[in-house]
Structure 1
Amino acid sequence: MHLSPLVTSIPENPLRALFPYAGRPGMLNLASGHPSRDAYDVPGLEAAAAAAASEANAWSYGPAGGDPDLIEALAGLSAPVPKGHRLLVTSGAQQAVDLALRALAPPGSRVLLPEPIYPAILSLCAAAGIHPLGYSVAAGDQDLAGLAGTLAEGHIRAIYALPTFSNPTGESWSRRQRLRMLELCAAAGVPVVEDDPYRMIHLDAPPPSSLAELSRKVPGVVVVHAGSLSKFVAPGLRLGWAIAPAPLAQAMQELRQATDLQPNSFAQRVAVHYLRSGRVEAHLERVRALYAARKTALASVLHLAGFDVPNTGGGMFLFPRLPEGQGADALFERAVAANVLIAPGRAFALPGRGAGLDDRVRLCFAGLSEERIREAAQRLVGAMERAES
């Protein structure tokens, strides 16, 4: 039996490879980007599920573009849907990104991805036969000179961006950087796919406007905006959305019909009732307070141990640089022995480009209680210090 090269070329997701370690007794998991169970509004979701269960349309086929009631509710959460655009319900932001890139970039074409990158994006590019090229946006690089040069070379079909509380770094682009990217992409005729699943989880001030919102100031630019309920309602619902120009949204809808027909009807009705319940803002405030305390707890222990921890304003991750002389791969082995799980920086590299991330680790502060976060950080520091002695 011969499998399609589009299947055999999919790289192993290095984060999925960590799952067996996560199940070990006593393991404290800082590697996986999962919300903690105490960050779910279980009473509110139970009430929403009970209301959905009584509705016949929750158990039926529905529109490929999504439940009209959910489309209306999501439009109230996201950036305004511009004239000539549509909101499409998807199975998480991941499917929104996948559908957008497939609709924009034929097999064999090139797309730009930020470095470092969430590895599942590499998998979906491989499955679509798309060739990824890297670009970077450093905090002080307001003119995006490197990106300008790459775009000027031509033959780029789309650019993927996660400018708000990025995964893995947790960092955000400035408003000026966002506008500059849009200007560059408008001039080059390159559509932008904006992945924005962490926007609601701001831990101090709200982030700058999304690329989709700012695109109204840049004539000629095309932006597909992807959002998700996974990070602030419940990942098990597997619901997200895309906002795109109507012809592109139609193409994305036809692609999703060819695979899974439609979003899950029951999950959509649960989401409708929850978003209409009036509980969302209070729930978000509780989640923000939980995560802010956990991020502070983790960062404070790491700072004292000599880690370089960038200041981030939200999301779920820190991507600190290890103290001088430390390597992430070796630290991973010692950390596992100390029953704390981390994600080495190489896991977030484009193929063949991991050397620059040898001294970085991604740590998720959302999945454990504040007390457990401190314990996990102390175990990690202890594992590092044992190598130095």
Structure 2
Amino acid sequence: MINVQFSNSGLHMSSRRFGSQSLVRLLGHWQQISSRTPLWRQLADALRLLILDGRLALDTRLPGERELASALNVSRTTVSSALAHLRDEGYLESRHGSGSRVILPESHAVPTRAAITSALDLSTAALSAGPEIHQAYTHALTAMTQHLSLTGYDQMGLLTLREAIAARYSARGLPTRADEVMVVNGAVSGLALVLRMLTGPGDRVVVDHPTYPLAIAAIQGASCRPVGVSLPESGWDTAGFAATLAQTAPRLAYLMPDFHNPTGRCMDAATRQTITDIAAQTRTTLVVDETMVDLWFDAPPPAPLAAFNPQASVITLGSAGKSFWGGLRLGWIRASSRTIATLAQTRDTLDLGSPLLEQLATLWLIENSASFLPARREMLLERRNQCGALMREHFPDWRFCEPEGGLSYWVELPGMVATQLAARAEALGIHLGTGTRFGVSGAFDRYLRMPFSMDPEELEKALLQIKPLWANLNKTDVFLKRAVI
């Protein structure tokens, strides 16, 4: 059912009403009783953070004041003051009888990473474009000429690009033909297409826990239910994976074995064999996200999962975003030719193919990647080490492991204070990626994802601004523990 409402801005459609318990889980540990900041202000800051993160989508209707106050175990006055403050700031719109609806101030765009007005964004793990991107587009513009006499519509993607992608898989130990590759508009777009083909409302999708936030969003956007398999201290819990498949009978499982986001760990060959064997035995389709596959530090990852058991149904997602530049917005799907043909039919309802200029640019980047990817990896390794040194110096009670690749650290805090820290940092113009973004139902409030992709000087500047906020939170936590004792 679609609710149609009128507002000052005209006719619009509103999304579903957000249940109070769901909102409580998303808010996490937002409340710090001993803080000098009024409780209503803490609640307003936490809700604003959810809106800017995109976890509270535009047009979402919040629970009523009385219901929310009861769920949060605070006074109705606290809730009323928090919502009034957000209305004054332009984050909520209220109408008598229909509650409060999430909006954005006129100065904000739809909440995406680019829409965050923070001066320092520590929530995004991505690199800016290198000089090779300009070279790639220059070459693409020249190569474009021969294609201008054609329509430009091609749901499978440029043949020469698909051949180049197939050759990369073959070189990594997974023999691949061009008809086993489809070019799409990024890995998330590829996941959404796969979900559209394989799932229906209410279906379960198994994911690593934690996992990539946009994968969770895509799964929930397909009206499916993400089911998490917790990651142990290191590696993957293959027994837990097998048990979860047996207990939940999911339609598919989404995994990121190559420098997993957010932990940065890499799945070893033995685990890949076990995972694909389990998938083959249970006839569970694996959707494998290789977005980070090129960003290794000490050694390249093992062969793709699809190479380990030919009886397993494996769909592999790739992307130019992390390897080359996010602005390319280009990815690909590698699967059996039959699956690719079915995906092409499913795609008819979504789009008519990917931009030709970006495909030509990506083709040039793939063909010339050996000339710049090693330097990119070396720069990232140096930034990883610098980021680790800064965190050890300024935040000695933060715990983290050195990622084997990728773009970020997964940092464990000594308490469930990530939401509180992020809300305070937001007031300074620093946007943090709280662990709750990477979990289902508000999990991981004691974690932060700390990217090391930004310029080291900018990173140090941000961390130095966060340091007194953290020190203040620590003092409060120590005070509370002593009071309990």
Give the TM interval when normalised to the shorter protein.
0.7 to 0.9
SS at match of 1:32: coil
Tell me: CA distance 1:321–1:33, structure 2 relative to 1, closer, same or farther (3 Å).
Answer: same
**Stretch deviating more after TM superposition (122-131 or 242-251):** 122-131
Cα offset, 1:22, TM superposition: 3.7
CA distance in 2, matches of 1:293, 1:349: 29
Tell me: CA distance 1:13–1:242, structure 2 relative to 1, closer, same or farther (3 Å).
Answer: farther
Contact 2:212 2:262 in 1 (8 A): yes
Given the alignment of the two structures, is residue 288 of structure 1 paired with residue 377 of structure 2, yes or no? yes
Given the alignment of the two structures, is residue 174 of structure 1 paired with residue 265 of structure 2, yes or no? no
Deviations 1:183-233 (A, max 9, x none): 11111110100001100011222122221232xxx2521111111111122
Given the alignment of the two structures, is residue 234 of structure 1 paired with residue 234 of structure 2, yes or no? no
1:205-216 aligned at under 5 Å gives the runs: 205-214=299-308
Letter in 2 for 1:329: T
Q: Percent identity?
A: 25
Letter in 2 for 1:285: P
CA distance in 2, matches of 1:249, 1:123: 23
TM-score calculated relative to the size of structure 1: 0.87
CA distance in 2, matches of 1:154, 1:28: 41
Structure 1 partner of 2:298: 204
CA distance in 1, matches of 2:319, 2:258: 13
Contact 1:302 1:381 in 2 (8 A): no
**Stretch deviating more after TM superposition (334-343 or 234-243):** 334-343
Cα offset, 1:76, TM superposition: 2.4
> 134, 151, 154: which is aligned to 2:228?
134
Cα offset, 1:58, TM superposition: 8.6
Tell me: CA distance 1:185–1:172, structure 2 relative to 1, closer, same or farther (3 Å).
Answer: same
> 464, 470, 479: which is aligned to 1:384?
470
CA distance in 2, matches of 1:3, 1:64: 34
Given the alignment of the two structures, is residue 158 of structure 1 paired with residue 228 of structure 2, yes or no? no
CA distance in 2, matches of 1:123, 1:157: 17
Deviations 1:125-181 (A, max 9, x none): 233222221112324566622111111225221111011111122222222222111
Structure 1 partner of 2:350: 259
CA distance in 2, matches of 1:58, 1:49: 16
Cα offset, 1:8, TM superposition: 3.5
Contact 1:137 1:144 in 2 (8 A): no
Structure 1 partner of 2:360: 269
Structure 2 partner of 1:344: 434
CA distance in 1, matches of 2:213, 2:365: 31
CA distance in 2, matches of 1:155, 1:94: 23
Contact 2:181 2:335 in 1 (8 A): yes
Letter in 1 for 2:152: Y
Cα offset, 1:311, TM superposition: 1.5
SS at match of 1:201: coil
Structure 2 partner of 1:67: 158
CA distance in 2, matches of 1:10, 1:55: 51
1:293-304 aligned at under 5 Å gives the runs: 293-304=382-393
Structure 2 partner of 1:360: 447
Aligned-residue RMSD, C-alpha: 2.8
CA distance in 2, matches of 1:168, 1:344: 11
Tell me: CA distance 1:68–1:85, structure 2 relative to 1, closer, same or farther (3 Å).
Answer: closer
Cα offset, 1:298, TM superposition: 1.1
Letter in 2 for 1:269: L
Cα offset, 1:359, TM superposition: 1.1
> 8, 19, 32: which is aligned to 2:124?
32
CA distance in 1, matches of 2:472, 2:388: 20
SS at match of 1:341: strand
Contact 2:216 2:226 in 1 (8 A): yes
Deviations 1:41-60 (A, max 9, x none): 24422422332343334973
Letter in 2 for 1:309: F
TM-score calculated relative to the size of structure 2: 0.71
Contact 1:15 1:32 in 2 (8 A): no
CA distance in 2, matches of 1:301, 1:10: 43
Tell me: CA distance 1:347–1:54, structure 2 relative to 1, closer, same or farther (3 Å).
Answer: same
Letter in 1 for 2:446: D
CA distance in 2, matches of 1:23, 1:296: 28
Contact 2:422 2:431 in 1 (8 A): yes
Letter in 1 for 2:373: L
CA distance in 1, matches of 2:236, 2:387: 29
Tell me: CA distance 1:149–1:72, structure 2 relative to 1, closer, same or farther (3 Å).
Answer: same
Letter in 2 for 1:378: L
CA distance in 2, matches of 1:21, 1:332: 17
Relative contact order: is structure 1 or structure 2 higher (C-alpha 8 Å, sep ≥ 6)? 1
Structure whose alpha-carbon radius of gyration is higher: 2
Deviations 1:51-90 (A, max 9, x none): 2343334973232111101111212233534479711111
CA distance in 1, matches of 2:114, 2:236: 41
Tell me: CA distance 1:363–1:60, structure 2 relative to 1, closer, same or farther (3 Å).
Answer: farther
Tell me: CA distance 1:240–1:84, structure 2 relative to 1, closer, same or farther (3 Å).
Answer: closer
Given the alignment of the two structures, is residue 47 of structure 1 paired with residue 133 of structure 2, yes or no? no
CA distance in 1, matches of 2:403, 2:339: 34
Contact 1:85 1:243 in 2 (8 A): no
SS at match of 1:134: strand
CA distance in 2, matches of 1:58, 1:335: 53
Structure 1 partner of 2:280: 186
Contact 1:28 1:341 in 2 (8 A): yes
The total of aligned residue pairs comes to 375
Tell me: CA distance 1:21–1:254, structure 2 relative to 1, closer, same or farther (3 Å).
Answer: closer
